Amino acid sequence: MKAITDEKKIEEILGRGVENIYPSKEELKKVLLSGRVLSIYNGIDPTGPTLHIGHGSTLLKLKEFQDLGHKIILLIGDFTGRIGDPTDKTATRKQLSVKEIKKNLQSYTKQANMILDMKKVQVKFNSKWLSKLSFEQVMEIASEFTLQQMIERDMFERRLKEGQPIHLHEFFYPLMQGYDSVAMNVDMEIGGNDQTFNMLIGRTMMKNRGKEKYVLTTKLLVDPTGKKMGKTEGNMVTLEDSPENMFGKIMSWPDALIPSAFEICTRVSSVEISKINLKNPRDAKMRLAYEIVKTYHGEKKAKEAQESFINTFQKKEIPTEMTEIKYKPGEKLMDTLTRTGLLPSKGTFRRLVAEGGITNLGNNEKIKDVNILAAPGVRLKVGKKTFIKIK
């Protein structure tokens, strides 16, 4: 079986949303044009079962290669994740149980399936080979690199300068990741630009064994000032978000993000993109949100999400669908909301009431009485984006 060798397509794939290609774009292009089927992998850190939009853009890139007919491998870094990072105090070194891994895998697969054809994707776990290495083998691998090569990495260099601790085992992360390439004998790796160092370690290791490994790094979603669209920004879009949530979160992105988001997170053609009027950020962003939601949830859901956004936030209408919670006779509203976990504590409820954050949608009046009883059929707006109905 041969891969598709449409030069125009390949050119597009190697350009869009791509930060860098090693050893070079030309080299990779040559191989792709030969029609040889490549095995291409992407590693996922299994710290949480949720993929975000950053993973999504890598998945999009993988999908393009999959469509060309190449073999895609998703590697779950269960071993790497299991070791834990002692510098991260919150990360307790809990060993993921088989059950947890299974559960996470299911959720990963489901999310990745939004983009990739998972039937054709091979899923692998790096514990399979990493946990079997002997100390001797580890030493051999370690001897392939020098301290100087390791501390070349910005992060290490900075911490060294600042007198921050660097744990020895941290040097092994790149090595482990690099060894993944060797163990799977892949032809190529695709990953975010922030993974360049690790991916190149793998390339070196492959080269030491007489094989070239191509590395393609994808652009990260950043605004023009270079600020990373990270979790700290609060509006991290995850692939598990409902279409409505996804749409809303994208609408709250800074306007400056729009052009790069179009390139990285959607596959709207560049001709189309150039037609979009950036002078009107609202409409441009509406389009962006629509396109992204469509990418993951399909056209129908995207339309619905857009309508719901317009109605709820632009026209300030009440959404048709809201969370329903069960009514218990004689119960105070305060207790109903905390019992169902919608609010963390009664203090929070009191605060919200004091701040005018809870509205009875029936008469459109803010609830003022902390001790008000819950009543069946009542519809409430709690905060700015939660709508609930008591049943």
Binding stretches for RNA (CB under 7 A): 89-90, 163-165, 167, 232, 234-235, 244-245, 247-249, 251-252, 254-255, 281-282, 285, 309, 313-314, 338, 344-348, 350-352, 355-357, 370-371, 382-386
Which among 210, 196, 184 is positioned nearest to 38, based on CA atoms? 184
Residue closer to RNA, measured from CB, 116 or 337: 337
Specify the residue for token string 């037609």: 275
What are the tokens at 167?
């744990």
Distances (CA, A) of 311 to 298, 304, 318: 20, 10, 7
Distances (CA, A) of 280 to 283, 285, 286: 6, 9, 10
Residue closer to RNA, measured from CB, 128 or 351: 351
Q: Whole-number minimum distance, CB 100 to RNA, in Å?
A: 22
Q: In what order do the strands lie in the sheet with 365-366?
A: 323-325, 386-390, 379-382, 358-360, 365-366
> Can you tell me the distance from the alpha carbon of 74 to that of 178, in angstroms, rounded to the nearest whole number?
15
Q: Whole-number minimum distance, CB 368 to RNA, in Å?
A: 11
Output the DSSP codes for 31-60: HHHTTPPPEEEEEE-TTSS--BHHHHHHHH
Residue closer to RNA, measured from CB, 196 or 386: 386
Q: Whole-number minimum distance, CB 166 to RNA, in Å?
A: 7
Residue closer to RNA, measured from CB, 326 or 385: 385
Q: Whole-number minimum distance, CB 191 to RNA, in Å?
A: 26
3-state SS, one letter per residue, for 160-194: HHCCCCCCHHHHHHHHHHHHHHHHHCCCEEEEEHH
Q: Whole-number minimum distance, CB 48 to RNA, in Å?
A: 14
Which among 295, 306, 294, 381 is positioned nearest to 337, based on CA atoms? 381
> Can you tell me the distance from the alpha carbon of 391 to that of 376, in angstroms, rounded to the nearest whole number?
5
Residue closer to RNA, measured from CB, 220 or 284: 284
Residue closer to RNA, measured from CB, 209 or 227: 227
102-116: b (≥16 Cβ within 10 Å) or e: eebbebbeebbebbb
Q: Whole-number minimum distance, CB 262 to RNA, in Å?
A: 14
Q: Whole-number minimum distance, CB 347 to RNA, in Å?
A: 4
> Can you tell me the distance from the alpha carbon of 28 to that of 7, in angstroms, rounded to the nearest whole number?
12
Helical (H) or strand (E) element with 265: helix 258-265
Residue closer to RNA, measured from CB, 26 or 369: 369
Residue closer to RNA, measured from CB, 3 or 343: 343
Q: Whole-number minimum distance, CB 334 to RNA, in Å?
A: 8
Torsion of CA 182, 185, 186, 187, to 10 degrees: 100
Q: Whole-number minimum distance, CB 289 to RNA, in Å?
A: 9
| Angle, CA 71 vertex, CA 1 and CA 105 arms, to 5° | 145
Residue closer to RNA, measured from CB, 107 or 235: 235
